Every structure is written in C-alpha cells, then in structure tokens.
Structure 1
C-alpha cells in the first residue's frame, strides 16, 4: 500500500518547514491583524542595514552590488530573511534553499573580487521564481500533490539566462493547483493571502510572487501569464508587472499545465516594486539572445529606438485611449476613480486622452475559454489521478453554496474535435485582425497622424476581493488573445470616503449586477488600486516607456 496523498502533503510540509533556519522564525500576529506590510521592519529580525537593503530599488541595488559597496552575500541574506518573514505572514513560498543561494552569492562576490568585473547586468541580485521555473536539483510541485518528489534534471532556459546575467534565484513561490485560477490555493501548500489585507486574495496564478514582492521579500519576481496571472497579482498587491508578448521571454524547460496548447501561450514576465526593475529585467533577458536557448523565443534584442518612442512622436503629445468598462461589467468606484486620476494627470502633462470603445471583449474572452476548455479537464485529471488528490472546485475560504459563481477555472469540453479547435483558432485570428484594423482606424481621429498610442484599462472590475471571489479575468485575458504587451502600474488605494458605494446604474448584464452587489468599501479595506497600459504585439520597449510617462504624470513629475 503506497502512501496516501495526505501523507505525501504532510511530508512535503515538514520538509519545507525544516528548510527554514530556526533563528529566522518570528512571532506571527493573530489573523485579526489584517495589514502586515510593516511587520518585516518591526519584528526585530532584520538589522538596520538589512532593512535598508531590502527597501532599496533594483537599479540602485545593482549599482551597489557592482561597486562591491554591498556584497551579494549580505544582499541575498537580507532578502532571504525578509522572504522567510513573508512566508510566515502570507504563506507565499514553496521551495526554500538557503545554503545553495548563499553559496552562489559567495561565488559572485569572489568573482568580482578576483576579476574586478561583474558576471553580468544582474550581478548579485536575488530573484524569486514562480514554482514553474525548473532549477536543477530543486523540486517543482506546481501546486500538484502528484508532483511532490519531482526534481528538475536541468534548469529552464530562463534560469540559465538569469545565472549568466549574474542573478541569484533564491526561492520559489506558490501557485494554485492547475495554475488556471486568478487566486492562489492548492492542496500542498495551502492559500497565499494579501499582505495589505489578509482577508483578501493576493491574486493568481502568480499570487506567491505578488505577496512576496509586496512585502519586499524579493527585489524582482518572475511570474507567468496566460490570462492575467502576472497582472492580477501585481494589481492586487500594488506592484508593477509586465505581461510581454508571446516568445519575448523564453519558456523552454519550464513546467506548465495544459502543455501543448499553443494557440494562446503562457508567457513569463517580471513583478517588481519599481518600474526601473521591470525595464532592467526585460533588457537583460532580451540582450542575452534567448532564441539560442528556446526555439519559440523571438529573435529581438532590446530596441533602444523603440524605447525612445520613435514611432510614438518621441513621447511628446501622446494619445491614450481609456477603456472605462468592457461592456460586460462596470468596475467598482475605486477603479473608476483611478481611471479618472490617470486621465487628469496625463492631460495636465500635455497628453490627450480619448474614450476607447471595447471591441467584442466578451467574444474574445469566450473564444479563449473555449480554446482552453478543449482539453483542460483531461489535462488536470491526468495529473491529479496519479495520487487521487481532489480537483479544487472553489477558492472560497469556506466551501459554501456559492461555488457556481466562484468557480473560475475552464471546465473542459472534451467533445471538441481537432477540426472544432481549428475553428476556434480561426475565430481568434479573425478577432485579432479586426482589433488591428480598428486600432489603425483611430489614426483618422487622433490629430497626430498616428493611431492611439496605448490603451489604459482596469486590470479587474474590482480591487483585490475576498478569498474565493475572484471569478473574472476578462479585463486581462483579452490581451492574451490579442497578444498585446500589458504593463500594470499602481495608482491609489481604496478610500472609504472617496470610494463610497454609488446608487445602482443600468446593469450591463447579470454579472454586472452581481459585481455591483459585491462592493462595500469596508470589504476592500486598504486594497491597492492599479491599472494596465497595453500596446501592440512585440512592442514591450514602447509599452515600458509609455508606462514611465503615465507613472511620472501620476506622481506629478
């Protein structure tokens, strides 16, 4: 008789707990203390210097590491201690390997000391990885009991590149079972919560990264995004996060769910507390020629002309389209206020803001869901049946009668034939073609001779909702279908006075009415409010530069 799935989980949790140095355990506040963002600095574990290191943004950190003012060992130690604090507060980590990371840090310090040169553009920088990015000799469970004990035989292509760039991958982070949820909960590691308010979700599927980076337990996290899985945690946790185009960041050698579904591929991208960190990560990876390690990676180095906005009037007098709602759900008051703030800031900075009319957003989302559903259930069953672990049907904190409305994951339609799938892929291509034509058409009305430069839209119709209530990824997933790079940026926080509940509007749909009823400013206490900026396919550099312009306008610079 083999061990049960519950016994496998108990053993894995024990091994995870044993990987944490005992001297790094803290006194954890009671569950009633919702906001825990100040605890890493007040709990007494970090020295003053470690607090300073972990509060320093990536661009400055890299300068101090390159000049040997700060050693990689002390920077890695500081972030590791803070990551372990985060783990105790919000349950964000999966794999913990302190000795390995510190040995790598020492090698980097020795190299700098003996040669006077950095290993690469990310020299000495600790980087956290979503539990999909294989590191040789490290377990990748990816939220599945069936994958406990599955150790990587070699690094994923992106991990090799990060090592070549001088980075130090030092922890792996929690994900939902199957990855196909915009929240983070599985039968192995449990639930990751939001550090701004622990009664709210950190988002998903890169929710472990979102929560860790929000607590500054990592300077840069790598997440993945097939329908919003970088952008949703970035938004819910108040971070910057970029969903690049297909193939811009290499995926080869990583584990995934629904492997072989390549009509709408998952992509890797960064989550960070600073905009500069996102740019530094993207440039380092693009310049490392990832197409030599991954046959699906796009052959495109970092394009400085594109970053200087050569095709966008060099960044002067830009025209932004604002999508106020997607035609299905009207966002909650804090999201509308963030859109209004952004519009006002951009206009004050000399840019033009026009209304963006959503084109067939519901059809785009339905097409994506049908593509996923063609084989997803068989995919999940194939993995979970190995140990008999149950397939999670709801992310609610306590299972209730609300499962029907809170089940997010595509449910599967095994009756779709290969030919039927081809028709869905054909529909996706038609929608992309229509969207391109519509975008090009805006050149007639912008007054610049160019089409609209970028679209600004909500990331979700709400700020981070309570656990189990994030059943909508429609605001993000359309950009996965269209393959538009989309950059999430922080704007404000839910304010009980400014964001009071409004009287009912004329509801766009039954879902819109449900969404209206969900809102109460008290429920969303302290939740960050972010938006996303989207550009054209393979236009990451321009999207980063335009987000810098929006960010500066919001900060009044």
Structure 2
C-alpha cells in the first residue's frame, strides 16, 4: 500500500480525474440543487447541432444503423457522447474513469476498418458504451469506491469488455458507485456523491447510480450496471430508464470486480441500462450471440431464443394475463407509484389483456433469508478492504450538511453493515437450503395462478414497483425489498419508465395501519411538492432464464403506454 493517508489518496485521485477533463469542455453549473438539470446538455452551448442530434437519438437501432452504414463515424459519435458525458459529470458527478484519448483511438480504428472493408466490424460497431466501475479494462484502475484500490491497474480486461471489443463497441467512460456496493445510493470517499439530474437534492439510486445519472442526461447511448439487490433497476426507475436484470449466469461476469466475492447463493448479475428498450434488446442479444459461455465457465449455455422472444409460451403475446403487485405487505408504496401501477393496469386492459392482483407469498421469510445471507460474514469483506488504507466504513448516505431528516436509516445501516452475527459454514448452508425451499414454494404459488387467469396457463408476468417511492433525498433510500425479492427468486426482470410524480395528482393519502417502523418512516417521507417531476418506473417480472420473453413483454407494455400518451 501507498504510504499516503487514505484522505490524500482520495484527494490525489479526484484531482487526477478533474485534470483529465478538457478545459474547453467546462461549463457553468447552477448551485441550485433542487433545480432540474435534464435540459442543460442541449442548452449549455457546448454541443453542436449534430452532436445534439447524435446524443438525442435514443433508439439504439437507429444509431447503430447510421454507424453501420457510415452516415455517422464512430469518432463523431464517440466525441459527441464524450462531451455530453463530461457535461453530465459536471452536473451530477457521475463518472470515475475518463480516458478520452484511448476511446477516440479505438473509434478511429473502427472508422479505418469501415473505410477499408466497407462493412462494420460487429453488431455494436462504433458504439460508445459506459460501464459501471466494476468492469475491468486492461491498463486502467478499477477502484469501485475503495481508497485501497487506487493505483493498481488491470492486467487484462474482464470478459464482458473483451466481448464488447469483439462486437465493435467503444468503452468510453466508467461510472460511480457507493463504497461496498451494498447501498441503493451512490457515494464514496474517492469520487464523492452522485446526484439525480431531475433534482440534485435527490439520489439517483445505486449501486449503479453513476450509470443512472449519466444515461438520464443522455451522456451515453448504452450503459452496463450490475444487480444483486436492485442495483440496475433502482437507479433505472429513479432516473427514468429501461433496464434488464437477467437471471444468474445468463450474461458474463468473469474477471469483473465485486464486493463479497465468493458469495454465490444470490449472484450478482450484469444488465443493460438505456433510454430505449431497443438498446436493452440489442445489447442482450449481441452478448448472447457471442456465445459468452466460451469465455466464462459459469454462463449458462443458452442461445438467444427467437421462439421465446415471439412469446410462443405466452399466447404469442395476445390476450395475456398480467398480475399487479400493488403492495409487498412490508412497505406501502407512495401515491406516484400507485398511480403508475394503475396506469399500466388500465393500459393493458384497454389493449385486450387481463390483469389480476398478485397475492404476496412468504415475503417476510424471503426477506429474512436474503438479508441473513448477505450479512453472513458480519461485514468482514467490507472492513478488510477499508482496513487496507485506513479509510472508515461508510455508515450512512446522508450528507454531512443539510441532510434530509430520516432517522430510520441509521439503525437500518447498523443492522446491515455493523456487526451482525458471524455465521458458520453450517449455518450458512441452512440458509441456502431454506432459500431453495422458498424458491420452490414461490414457483408453486406462481403455477397455481392458472386457476385465476382464464388463459389456460399461469400468469404471464408480474408488474411490480421497483421501490415504494421515486428518487428520494440523499440518505433516505432504506428499502430495496421490492427488487431484492426477485434476486433471491432469480426471476428475470425488466425496468421501464411510466410517468412522473405530479403534486396535483399524487396527493398525500390518509395514514394506514403501519406494518413496521420503516413502513411508517416511508409514509412520512412523502411530500408532493418535493417529489414533483421525478420519474416513476416499474418492473416487469418473468421466470428464471426467460430474458427474451421478459424483453418482449416489456415491449408490449411500453407500446400500450405509448398508445395512451
């Protein structure tokens, strides 16, 4: 380790990041944290009309078509998104690694190949892609929010990055994460706090919060995050994005960095984040078509299924039956989330589909099992990494100054990352056994819905909240069970935007009978004025290893929502 203090290590690394930004790309940034900065990139004057057109082409199929036909060069597209990413960085502090020369050199290589051969190098030819700060790139640091990880560079790229290069992509920035990755927010001692561009007083979510903020500002056409408890879907919902949380080992994770490495009962998965469903599909299909099981021994050997994407097991997408999870029985959702569920229900029914209520099944047992597995090492993994530099383990996401009042989270944090009981291997095995029993019980519960659907088959998918709220003030995101539930069950999930919180439509509701302290705290947190204008997203939940069908069903939901607007 360096002889420098952890504070000096962090300060030096942050300065290195700031110095990597071209001076001509610096903009003037308002200090009003509650003011939306969503429109700033297009209005600040840094981007040319062509660069605005490029970066606001959110349909990835259109963008890739222009790249693959030479209408736009990779250098043009990469430069445009890099400039917009740097704008996003100044507005929300969403980036970690900035390597402009390297990315542009890659873009020029792809343009030279196209000029020489008259064809693209692969299905993602010339496309800049942002990556969460877990995906190792040869020759670059992977800091992942730890002071002790500053300095060493990766000797090789992770499998995902190798495949992206093979497909013709241009990795161009990496994005911020919370220390330890366990938080649903984004703050660490090295790079600082990432804010939500719709209201910087609010969190963008986490742990893929840097990706969420960057993509919301259209600073990247496609990003990749990871999800072990909602870390793709939560920032996706809080930032108005489309996302996919695939099943365990469907996409390649090998040689990427992670927290709690070795914990394999509830696996972290990587997934796309973007402003369009076309990007989610294009990324997922391209990676699977590259046969990642040849590079990552854990990846399931399953090719992209056109039959599943055509929804052959779901009535070919006609007259389907969806179930709505209105409330998980633990924490009641805020009014904007409830309204989003009602919008989706009505839109699906108007399109000829049936919608029934989902009946929660053994949720508290699943919650207890999940948190016990995550805490089985009593926080040793996090403490070991922090001890290497002497930096303190972060105990709260609340700002040092002007923190929003939310006392519940302090006790919650101590429960999760304090000093819970260190479990023996035998005790952990019992939790694994219990998890299998709960998964089987939930599968039986799903299959039993055949008696209520009227389609001759069980419910096709569940429509559920991603969180009980929209984005919340920094330090107030205490609940992840609406997403973690499906990580434990290993159901494929897609996140999608529905609407925006509206102070006139989403009034405070009368108090209900609170189930627990968190339920009460979440209820009291809601303020129609404060939450006004924030994105509201939901998730569509399918079966294990059913990514193709989940994407296709989400496309159907997205179309019926579009028809309603």
Name the TM-score, length of structure 1 as normaliser: 0.98
1:371-520 matched pairs, under 5 angstroms: 371-375=373-377, 377-398=379-400, 402=407, 403-405=409-411, 407=413, 409-520=416-527
What's 1:27 paired with?
28
Separation in 2, partners of 1:378, 1:97: 33
- On the 8 A contact 1:92/1:211 being kept in 2, the answer is yes
SS class of match (1:416): coil
- On the 8 A contact 1:342/1:554 being kept in 2, the answer is yes
- On the 8 A contact 1:174/1:192 being kept in 2, the answer is yes
Separation in 2, partners of 1:397, 1:310: 50
Separation in 1, partners of 2:418, 2:355: 39
Work out whether 1:11 is the aligned partner of 2:12: yes
1:345-360 matched pairs, under 5 angstroms: 345-360=347-362
What's 1:131 paired with?
133
What's 1:210 paired with?
212
- Alignment CA distance shift 1:350-1:148 (3 Å): same
- On the 8 A contact 1:369/1:410 being kept in 2, the answer is no
TM-superposed CA distance for 1:382, in Å, is 1.0
SS class of match (1:198): coil
Show structure 1 runs of 4+ deviating over 4 A.
Answer: none
What's 2:97 paired with?
95
TM-superposed CA distance for 1:82, in Å, is 0.1
Separation in 2, partners of 1:280, 1:61: 12
What's 2:177 paired with?
175
- On the 8 A contact 1:374/1:412 being kept in 2, the answer is no
TM-superposed CA distance for 1:328, in Å, is 0.9
TM-superposed CA distance for 1:506, in Å, is 2.5
The superposition leaves residues 21-52 of structure 1 with CA deviations (integer Å, 9 ceiling, x where unpaired) of: 11111111123452000000111000000000
Equivalent of 1:323 in 322, 325, 331: 325
What's 1:361 paired with?
363
Separation in 2, partners of 1:465, 1:434: 34
1:257-272 matched pairs, under 5 angstroms: 257-272=259-274
TM-superposed CA distance for 1:217, in Å, is 0.2
TM-superposed CA distance for 1:19, in Å, is 1.0
Equivalent of 1:309 in 308, 311, 315: 311
- On the 8 A contact 2:69/2:119 being kept in 1, the answer is no
Work out whether 1:38 is the aligned partner of 2:39: yes
How many correspondences in the alignment? Answer: 557
Separation in 2, partners of 1:553, 1:376: 46
The superposition leaves residues 396-416 of structure 1 with CA deviations (integer Å, 9 ceiling, x where unpaired) of: 113778352452844453531
TM-superposed CA distance for 1:521, in Å, is 0.9
SS class of match (2:528): coil
SS class of match (2:202): strand
- On the 8 A contact 1:258/1:376 being kept in 2, the answer is no
Separation in 2, partners of 1:45, 1:112: 29
- On the 8 A contact 2:34/2:201 being kept in 1, the answer is no
Separation in 2, partners of 1:93, 1:511: 32
- Runs (5+) with no aligned partner, structure 2: none
- On the 8 A contact 1:394/1:406 being kept in 2, the answer is no
- On the 8 A contact 1:247/1:298 being kept in 2, the answer is yes
TM-superposed CA distance for 1:427, in Å, is 0.7
The superposition leaves residues 436-465 of structure 1 with CA deviations (integer Å, 9 ceiling, x where unpaired) of: 011111112211111000000000011101
Separation in 1, partners of 2:201, 2:18: 24
Separation in 1, partners of 2:105, 2:419: 45
Q: 46-55 or 392-401, which moves further after superposition?
A: 392-401
- Alignment CA distance shift 1:369-1:32 (3 Å): closer
Separation in 2, partners of 1:306, 1:411: 44
TM-superposed CA distance for 1:336, in Å, is 0.4
SS class of match (2:163): helix
Separation in 1, partners of 2:83, 2:532: 28
What's 2:542 paired with?
535
Separation in 1, partners of 2:516, 2:357: 21
Q: 435-444 or 407-416, which moves further after superposition?
A: 407-416
- Runs (5+) with no aligned partner, structure 1: none
1:202-241 matched pairs, under 5 angstroms: 202-241=204-243
SS class of match (2:379): helix
- Alignment CA distance shift 1:125-1:526 (3 Å): same
The superposition leaves residues 472-501 of structure 1 with CA deviations (integer Å, 9 ceiling, x where unpaired) of: 100000100000011110000010000010
TM-superposed CA distance for 1:516, in Å, is 1.0
- Alignment CA distance shift 1:25-1:376 (3 Å): farther
- On the 8 A contact 1:372/1:410 being kept in 2, the answer is no
The superposition leaves residues 235-275 of structure 1 with CA deviations (integer Å, 9 ceiling, x where unpaired) of: 00010011000111100000001000000010000000001
- Alignment CA distance shift 1:304-1:410 (3 Å): farther
TM-superposed CA distance for 1:117, in Å, is 1.6
